[in-house]
Chain A
Amino acid sequence: MEKLHFNYAATEKIAHPVHIGVVASGDLEVIMKPTTNSESTLDIVTGSDGFKEVWGNVLTRFFDRYPLLADFEINDFGATPGVVNLRLTQAMEALKNE
């Protein structure tokens, strides 16, 4: 069990909260809330230890493509980087399609 924290420069404010995914084996839950901060903050609780670098890579790639400005809470139960990317981009899509 590990708690990770990240900050990212971001520009696209989100209008309302969004909740994607579930904390099931191999999956994760992404909760995004609007923020008044000037950068995005991410609090991650993960069941798999030692993957801080991989999380950093996934998040950097995500923010390079989708610079969403929000507070993120992520609860992860051993998802692969591909599944993490899926949930993050699904959250991004859910916001764009409103």
Chain B
Amino acid sequence: MRSLWIFPGQGGQHAGMLKDVDPALREHVEQMLDLKLLDTDVAYQDSVQLQVGIELLQVSQINSLKASGLKPSLVAGHSLGVFAAAYAIGSLQQDDLFPLVKRRAELMQGAYPEGYGMGVVVGMSRKQVEDLVAQVHSDEHPVYASNQNSEDQTALSGELAAIDQVVKLAKDHGATIAMRLKVPVPSHSPLMADVATKLSALLESVPLTKPNGIYLANNTGHAVRQVPQVEADLSGNLAHPVYFEAMMAVAHDYQPDSIVNFSPGRPFRKVLGQKFGDLHQVNLDQMSVSDVEFLLNKWERGTN
């Protein structure tokens, strides 16, 4: 089987999402980080609880699938999900992953005061959005075109007042939807360069191995097979747009025969439908791990 495993970032979290996580793994992580994971809606307001919680959930699911003999040929993490992706493809070790993620969350939490965040524009090309952004952006009121989740969906990152201006321009120029997102940090823009530099320094002492398959990089949208590019993505992706649509287009060129969507949430339904049609897909957010294992094994047997 040539399976594409996709790991979402923040957005789909909910209270109780950790209930099926392997208890031994959870305890190990909590001890290692000296952190009790509360798994409540209130707790998920805190960056560290949120990011470590999501990665714990994904790592637990990865371990379970691998224990039943399944493995990915391609991995695609979105933002935070890149860490689970690097783990799943064999580049990053489990015990290196969690301290990294905790530190990332701490750095992000303190990085920006109120007044910064993200937005989204739907129904315009990236070029069109970039033209509007260029009209508004200034050093005092920065705004950038950031994540590209599908061809006609471009995110904005920066100062909220500047984002609001771009949103208004977009609506005037025929965008179907243009609005702020509930994200309090200007992620995936040059404004996060400081955090990226600090993460990069941390990664220097983390041993990474050659991916055992294809790792799809956020910051370039490229398929990578070598450690330096994986490392660059893990540290740098916060300061660059997530070129998710390009990642999916390249993944398509590798002709996967199945897609496994990891928790939490199902944020990529539309772009996956556009790129892959009715290719076999499973969603760990909706199915138990054992059901997913059953289906993937069944499809593998049925393949010519």
Residues of A within 8 A of B (CB): 48-51, 53
User: Nearest CB to that of B123 among chain A residues?
Assistant: A50
Classify chain B: how many residues form its interface, as a range: under 10
The prevalent SS among residues of A at the interface is loop
CB B53 to nearest CB in A, in angstroms, measures 34
Interface residues of B in 106-144 (CB under 8 A from A): 123
CB B171 to nearest CB in A, in angstroms, measures 9
B228 within 8 A of A: no
For A48, the chain B residues whose CB sits under 8 A away are 176
Listed by A's residue number, 9 A-B pairs whose Cβ atoms lie within 8 Å are A48-B176, A49-B176, A49-B177, A50-B123, A50-B175, A50-B176, A50-B177, A51-B176, A53-B174
Question: In the complex, A2 Cα to B123 Cα: how many Å?
Answer: 16
Name the residue among A50, A51, A53 with the largest chain B CB count within 10 angstroms: A50
Question: In the complex, A83 Cα to B174 Cα: how many Å?
Answer: 22
User: Nearest CB to that of A50 among chain B residues?
Assistant: B176
User: Nearest CB to that of A49 among chain B residues?
Assistant: B176
Interface residues of B in 163-196 (CB under 8 A from A): 174-177
Question: In the complex, A44 Cα to B176 Cα: how many Å?
Answer: 17
For B176, the chain A residues whose CB sits under 8 A away are 48-51
Q: Ordered nearest first, which 9 A-B pairs have the shortest CB separation?
A: A50-B176, A50-B123, A49-B176, A50-B177, A53-B174, A51-B176, A50-B175, A49-B177, A48-B176
